[in-house]
Amino acid sequence: MNDSQDMQLQRLFAREPLPAANPALVAAVISGVERQRRQGRVVAIAIGVCVLLVTAALAPLVTAYVSEAFAALDGVALRGAHFPLLTTALMALASIGAAAWATRN
């Protein structure tokens, strides 16, 4: 097949008119998009809640572990009466961050 024959086929394809616009297809696509968004939101909220629950469950354990670890170090300035509270606050911040990350979409 030579170039002019190729050109003939290319011109033939180029001459073919576009199909008429199909508003029903546009509507079907958008309804599919909306459905996906709804499902995505439900899944994201579920993941966020799970992350929060797991983090909340782990927070006391981590607090106790870190407190013990610091208690073993004599003379560390960070250790004080408010230290467990500080650790819990950090864990809460981490859990909020994790939940925000899980639900970012």
Partner 1 sequence: MNFLARRQALANVAEVTLVALAAGGEVEAFEELVRRREPRLRQFLRRVCANTALADDLSQQAFLQAWMQLRTLREPAAFGSWLRQLALNCALQQMRRRTEQLDPDAGMDIPANDADVGLVLDLERALERLRPDERICVVLCHAEGMSHGEIATHTGWPLGTVKSHVTRGSARLRAWLDPGVLEAP
Binding site for partner 1 (CB under 8 A): 1, 5-6, 8-10, 12-22, 25-26, 28-30, 32-34, 36-37
Cα 48–chain centre separation: 9
Token pair for residue 84?
């467990």
d(CA 19, CA 7): 23
Shortest reach from residue 47's CB to partner 1, in Å: 17
How many H-runs (helices) and E-runs (strands) does the chain carry? 3, 0
Shortest reach from residue 19's CB to partner 1, in Å: 5
Shortest reach from residue 46's CB to partner 1, in Å: 19
**Shorter beta-carbon distance to partner 1: residue 18 or 73:** 18
CB 45 within 8 A of CB 103: yes
**Shorter beta-carbon distance to partner 1: residue 7 or 56:** 7
CB 46 within 8 A of CB 78: no
**Shorter beta-carbon distance to partner 1: residue 25 or 81:** 25
